[in-house]
């Protein structure tokens, strides 16, 4: 009798692996070895070695073999349990022992042909056109066939297994596609009277509070808006960070690829990243032709430059990943928990979709990033405390209309994954507020419990051995300001008393004719 | 009698221009025009048109001409006064009027050959191997011959003139090469007893105050050093910025090429820049192969990425240039002067030479940038006031051993130019302090009067029409800390009383096993 209800489980997809390969040896085999010896070896592979670990009747099989001079040619077929490439590696190892007795070594593996077929129910219109390490893709109604382009080192790196996982991920992503991200209302503020119905960015441009900068999605902030930003920062410090014992740190703002590999962003950040490249060399002579070209044409030769630089990472996107290098590979003393730190040392970047946006959707923006680390209970409890305190700020100081929702965790969204509604402890709470001028809701802040994601990714452990968790919350100064100014307008006399006092008088510095 | 002492003037270099070109017309000339008409035209060019503006006996001359179907072929030779390419443009214009009477238009210019020869005394070992828009370079003892590769649009852009200026600049640069930059002592503090002889970076690494980040020349700053940075910032604010009425702004940190074209950095920044590239498109499908490659190999395919991004500028290098876009093309009201603003909103980058350095030489660093704008008198007076106040900080609060020197203006150094000792009003004062552990002097700060450089570069004018000047001063937090910690050590009990009070207790957050 089966213990689980099989209909509720996802059936394992059937797979078929067909591999033609040769093991290249250090000397000729034909003279040295009795063919019956190899035949015996193959039989033992098929009855034992290539079935180990697989359910009865399953595993891999050498269906054809041939000895030609210094090569042993093999054809291996298998199911999902001992995949043909794993089978080949097992064979190589065992055969090595056998040949060793004849003073022959195995030099390497040559792969002639490797075909993988998967039982495949494509979701929707998912077509797979191109895959790395794949020469040919045949997609039929319920079957996906991949003709691989791999060598021995690719087998060592487990490329075939990762390929299978990749196509499975693509199928899962297609399942989510079209379905909206998860969104569940947690809290809603009182309705508030709106004092303004214009786009605050437009209004600030007219008043010379801000100017368009030279880059896309980038502004230069004059003294008035900067004063508002600093007031918002002060509220965050006074109401949350100081009372909760947060200490300031300075997180890196250039993010090397290794950080994004560990944080998971290297899976999907590409369409939105601001890439950073460094010179291939600092030798001025190497750059002389670029300088000469500029001096002669007054144009920067960007194509020429592209050949002289190399991509090493990108600019800050999510703010906390590079912080984790501070703890990388370390064991934290129990007594230090919970750890609470924040950073406000620089700019963040997103390559946003084209067209003009206001300060609510920028390529370059400014954020205070808050990080807390503890055991599971501490981390969850801290996130609740934070949420209480944010509620106080939005209700009692900024006096805005806003709401809180449980959404797809930010790190999954940034890795290109869809929402998991079933997550209850790990996940993201988004804060949204309505912009009266457009009647759209804007996400202006979040609080996330990231589970053990970062400690795992950066190999950070706790002295006690207990699981280490973390959370983070990003306060976008432009977003806070966009929401506040959209609802309250730019005239300080209409602002809530408490906030007005914190901001003080807005400085007037520039006057243009 | 000559009014100037000729031996003190630099004699104009003799130049020779030889241009073979054809003017292509909209119809055949041979049938339409009497050859004598063209002959008359050429004579009038040689006696009048191509001599206009040149000293007697100087200018350009058409030495050969020929009409072939719809083309007029010309050979023009000239001296420096009416350069052959200018002569050609004059001829084109005048001939256009003449041909117009025959209802023939000039379609364009075809350049067969253009050779420029300069009298040339190369400095030292200067060899010119390669130049943009030049096919062939012949460098003889006292003569430089350039065979150009230009078309009509290159003439329109004045490429030949800029080429000549470029080689002259190279010669001037070679003259400066080897000579050290200008350096002149202005002030020296009292000798101070040093309390520390170690490298503070090493010591901070050992105490876990900082950790190496994932990028080159990049650290993650823990709570202790961050507290020290914020104390230094507070001193700057309390002692200088607030008393002098400075207002905070937020300057962009990504710098588009257009900014560096206007600031002059596009002339020479290349070997040291951190380049920023953006995706050619934000379409996730365009990036799918990159994501797939990463998912299958766990390696980021940087070469693949390089083909999908484009260079749009770089990260903040000198901090004030992108601020000037705020004022670009504007006219400032007189009453607003002097303008005093500062920025502390993000990181700066320099691709520093290889090897490990401490926090005194970083690829990623943090700086408060101070900018003042006024008429000439205001700007100079303000720089003196600033210097007084800095002196007070270094002597009375930080209590360090330091000195002040008059050096090559920073913007000239950054454009690849050498020092001008003769500048007396425009220029840079560097602040240097000795690092006891290495016995080297470190530049940790500067105060610069930039003259009208930025208002000119960004087309900013003053209501009164008076010349607008500006100055800037960069306070590198890492540099200030490096100097202070190197001289005073990391133990707060040894620090000067005033500074100790401002810093308060250093926070202890992390403890590793």
Average pLDDT over residues B305-322: 98
Closest residue of chain B to A247, computed from CA coordinates:
B223
Average pLDDT, chain B: 92
Check: CB of residue A274 under 8 Å from CB of residue A349. Answer: yes
Element (H, E) at B39: helix B35-44
Residue A261's Cβ-side half-sphere holds a number of Cα atoms within 13 Å equal to 17
Active-site pick, B262, B344, B350, B367: B350
Round to whole Å and give the CA distance between B51 and B58: 7
Q: For residue B158, indicate whether it is catalytic.
A: no
pLDDT of B407 strictly over 60: yes
What pLDDT is stored for residue A357 in this prediction?
83
pLDDT of A414 strictly over 80: no
What pLDDT is stored for residue A418 in this prediction?
53
Q: For residue B364, indicate whether it is catalytic.
A: no
Return the closest-CA partner of residue A17 out of A136, A132, A161. Answer: A161
Start-end of H helices in A116-186 = 152-156, 159-176
Start-end of H helices in B142-190 = 152-156, 159-176
Round to whole Å and give the CA distance between B197 and B183: 27
Calculate the dihedral angle through the C-alpha atoms of B257, B262, B264, B267, rounding to the nearest 10 degrees.
Answer: 50
Return the closest-CA partner of residue A372 out of A241, A503, A223, A218. Answer: A241
Partnered with residue B310 across adjacent β-strands are B278
Q: For residue A446, indicate whether it is catalytic.
A: yes
B406: its two tokens = 């008059």
Q: For residue A145, indicate whether it is catalytic.
A: no
DSSP label of A82: S
Q: Please, what's the largest Cα pairwise distance for chain A?
A: 99
Round to whole Å and give the CA distance between B79 and B53: 13
B297 to A325: CB separation less than 8 angstroms, yes or no: no
B166 to A296: CB separation less than 8 angstroms, yes or no: yes
Task: Using the structure block, give the residue that is written with the tokens 């209409």.
Answer: A494
Round to whole Å and give the CA distance between A318 and A324: 12
**Å between B465 CA and nearest CA of chain A:** 12
Average pLDDT over residues B430-455: 95
Check: CB of residue A30 under 8 Å from CB of residue A137. Answer: no
User: Which residues of A fall within a CB distance of 8 Å from B132?
Assistant: 289, 292-293, 296-297
Round to whole Å and give the CA distance between A155 and A132: 14
Helix A288-297 × helix B159-176 angle, to 10°: 130
Q: How big is the CA angle at B287 (ends B283 and B291), to the nearest 5 degrees?
A: 140
What pLDDT is stored for residue A183 in this prediction?
87
Could you report the per-residue pLDDT of B187-229, keeping only the tens digit for each?
Answer: 999 999 999 999 999 999 999 999 999 999 999 999 999 999 9
What pLDDT is stored for residue A12 in this prediction?
56
Q: Which among B211, B266, B306 has the least Cβ separation from residue A294?
A: B266
Round to whole Å and give the CA distance between B381 and A378: 57
B446: its two tokens = 């500067």
Return the closest-CA partner of residue A88 out of A20, A173, A14. Answer: A20
Could you report the per-residue pLDDT of A337-387, keeping only the tens digit for each?
Answer: 999 999 999 999 999 987 778 999 999 999 999 999 999 999 999 999 999
Helix (H, G, I), strand (E, B) or coil at A64: strand
**Å between A3 CA and nearest CA of chain B:** 35
A277 to B278: CB separation less than 8 angstroms, yes or no: no
B238: its two tokens = 């309390």
Predicted confidence band at B123 (pLDDT cuts at 50, 70, 90)? low
Q: How far is CA B277 from CA A59, B306, B405, B510, in A?
A: 49, 9, 38, 36
For the whole model, what pTM was predicted? 0.92
What pLDDT is stored for residue A446 in this prediction?
95
Q: Which among B165, B253, B283 has the least Cβ separation from residue A347?
A: B253
Task: Using the structure block, give the residue that is written with the tokens 């880059």.
Answer: A215
Could you report the per-residue pLDDT of A135-187, keeping only the tens digit for each?
Answer: 999 988 889 999 999 999 999 999 999 999 999 888 877 776 666 678 889 99
pLDDT of A333 strictly over 50: yes
Closest residue of chain B to A271, computed from CA coordinates:
B282
Could you report the per-residue pLDDT of A79-134, keeping only the tens digit for each?
Answer: 999 999 999 999 999 999 999 988 899 999 999 999 999 988 766 678 888 999 99
Calculate the dihedral angle through the C-alpha atoms of B124, B130, B131, B134, rounding to the nearest 10 degrees.
Answer: 120
ipTM here? 0.92
Among B163, B164, B221, B254, pick the best mutation site for testing chain A contact (most A Cβ within 10 A). Answer: B254
What pLDDT is stored for residue B2 in this prediction?
37
What pLDDT is stored for residue A30 in this prediction?
76
CB pairs under 8 A between A and B: 343
Task: Using the structure block, give the residue that is written with the tokens 């801000």.
Answer: A210
What pLDDT is stored for residue B356 in this prediction?
72
A163 to B296: CB separation less than 8 angstroms, yes or no: yes
What pLDDT is stored for residue A28 in this prediction?
86
Predicted confidence band at A36 (pLDDT cuts at 50, 70, 90)? confident
Among A132, A176, A231, pick the best mutation site for testing chain B contact (most B Cβ within 10 A). Answer: A132
Predicted confidence band at B77 (pLDDT cuts at 50, 70, 90)? very high
A334: its two tokens = 């129990």
What pLDDT is stored for residue B417 in this prediction?
60
Average pLDDT over residues A213-233: 97
A313 to B284: CB separation less than 8 angstroms, yes or no: no
Average pLDDT, chain A: 92
Return the closest-CA partner of residue B322 out of B270, B382, B265. Answer: B265
What pLDDT is stored for residue B8 in this prediction?
40
Which of the residue ranges A406-410, B29-33, B273-277 would you say has the lowest mean pLDDT?
B29-33
What are the backbone dihedrals phi and psi of residue A266, each rounded to the nearest 5 degrees, phi first? -60, -10
Check: CB of residue A492 under 8 Å from CB of residue A207. Answer: no
Start-end of H helices in A189-322 = 200-206, 223-236, 257-263, 288-297, 302-306
Active-site pick, A171, A320, A367, A432: A320
Burial B96-124 (b: 16+ CB within 10 A, else e): eeebeeeebebeebebeebbbbbebebee
Average pLDDT over residues A316-325: 97
Could you tell me the end-to-end alpha-carbon distance of chain B, in angstroms, rounded to an integer? Answer: 88
Return the closest-CA partner of residue A74 out of B328, A85, B314. Answer: A85
Q: For residue A277, indicate whether it is catalytic.
A: no
Return the closest-CA partner of residue B427 out of B379, B480, B459, B485. Answer: B379
Q: Which among B218, B248, B286 has the least Cβ separation from residue A223?
A: B248
Q: How far is CA B463 from CA A512, B323, B337, B376, in A?
A: 9, 20, 11, 15
Which of the residue ranges B9-18, B52-61, B381-390 would you say has the lowest mean pLDDT?
B9-18
Check: CB of residue A349 under 8 Å from CB of residue A316. Answer: yes
DSSP label of B151: -
Predicted confidence band at B414 (pLDDT cuts at 50, 70, 90)? low
DSSP-assigned states of every residue in B319-363: SSGGGGGGTTT-EE-GGGPSEEEEE--SEEE----SS---TTS-S
- Top pLDDT among A268 and B127 is at A268
Round to whole Å and give the CA distance between A115 and A143: 13
Active-site pick, B83, B364, B446, B478: B446
Question: Percent of chain B at pLDDT above 90?
Answer: 81
Calculate the dihedral angle through the C-alpha atoms of A219, B342, B451, B419, rounding to the nearest 10 degrees.
Answer: -100
Return the closest-CA partner of residue B457 out of B411, B490, B493. Answer: B411
B270 to A287: CB separation less than 8 angstroms, yes or no: yes
Active-site pick, B51, B171, B262, B361: B361
Q: Which among A166, A254, A336 has the least Cβ separation from residue B296?
A: A166
The answer to whether the Cα torsion of A311, A316, A320, A324 is positive or negative is positive
Predicted confidence band at A2 (pLDDT cuts at 50, 70, 90)? very low
A511 to B294: CB separation less than 8 angstroms, yes or no: no
Q: For residue A216, indicate whether it is catalytic.
A: no
Check: CB of residue B364 under 8 Å from CB of residue A253. Answer: yes
């Amino acid at each position: 009798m089966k213990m689980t209800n099989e209909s509720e489980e996802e059936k394992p997809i059937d797979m078929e692996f067909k591999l033609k390969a040769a093991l290249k040896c250090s000397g000729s085999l034909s003279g040295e070895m009795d063919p019956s010896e190899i035949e015996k070896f193959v039989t033992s592979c098929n009855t034992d070695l290539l079935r180990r670990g697989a359910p009865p009747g399953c595993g891999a099989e050498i269906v054809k073999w041939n000895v030609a001079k210094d090569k042993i040619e093999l054809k291996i077929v298998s199911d999902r349990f001992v995949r043909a490439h794993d089978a080949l590696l097992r064979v190589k190892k065992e055969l090595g022992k056998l040949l060793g007795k004849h003073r022959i070594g195995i030099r390497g593996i040559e792969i002639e042909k490797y075909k993988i077929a998967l039982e495949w129910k494509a979701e929707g219109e998912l077509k797979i056109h191109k895959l790395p390490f794949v020469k040919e893709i045949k997609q039929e109604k319920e079957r996906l066939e991949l003709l691989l382009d791999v060598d021995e080192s690719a087998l060592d790196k487990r490329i075939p297994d990762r390929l299978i996982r990749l196509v499975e991920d693509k199928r899962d992503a297609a399942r989510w596609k079209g379905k909206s991200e998860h969104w569940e209302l947690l809290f809603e503020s009182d309705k508030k009277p709106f004092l303004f119905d214009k786009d605050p960015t437009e209004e600030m441009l007219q008043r010379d509070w801000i100017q368009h900068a030279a880059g896309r999605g980038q502004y230069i902030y004059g003294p008035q808006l900067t004063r508002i930003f600093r007031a918002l920062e002060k509220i965050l410090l006074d109401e949350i960070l100081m009372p909760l014992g947060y200490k300031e740190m300075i997180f890196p703002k250039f993010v090397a690829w290794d950080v994004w590999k560990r944080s998971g962003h290297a899976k999907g950040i590409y369409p939105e990243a601001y890439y950073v490249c460094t010179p291939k060399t600092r030798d001025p002579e190497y750059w002389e032709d670029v300088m000469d070209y500029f001096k002669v044409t007054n144009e920067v030769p960007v194509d020429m430059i592209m050949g002289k630089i190399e991509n090493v990472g990108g600019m800050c996107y999510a703010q906390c990943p590079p912080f984790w290098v501070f703890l990388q590979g370390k064991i934290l003393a129990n007594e230090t928990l919970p750890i609470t730190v924040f950073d406000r040392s620089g700019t963040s970047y997103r390559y946003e979709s084209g067209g003009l946006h206001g300060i609510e959707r920028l390529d370059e923006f400014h954020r205070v990033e808050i990080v807390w680390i503890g055991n599971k209970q501490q981390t969850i409890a801290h996130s609740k405390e934070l949420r209480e305190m944010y509620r106080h700020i939005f209700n009692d100081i900024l006096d805005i209309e806003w709401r809180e929702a449980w959404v797809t965790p930010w790190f999954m969204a940034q890795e290109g994954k869809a929402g998991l509604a079933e997550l209850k402890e790990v996940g993201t709470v988004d804060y949204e507020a309505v912009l009266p001028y457009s009647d759209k809701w804007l996400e202006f802040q979040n609080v996330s419990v990231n589970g053990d994601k970062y400690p795992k990714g950066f190999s950070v452990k706790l002295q006690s051995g207990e699981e280490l968790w973390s959370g983070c919350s990003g306060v976008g100064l432009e977003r806070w300001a966009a929401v506040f100014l959209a609802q309250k307008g730019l005239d300080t006399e209409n602002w809530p008393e408490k906030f007005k006092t914190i901001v003080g008088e807005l400085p007037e510095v520039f006057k243009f004719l």
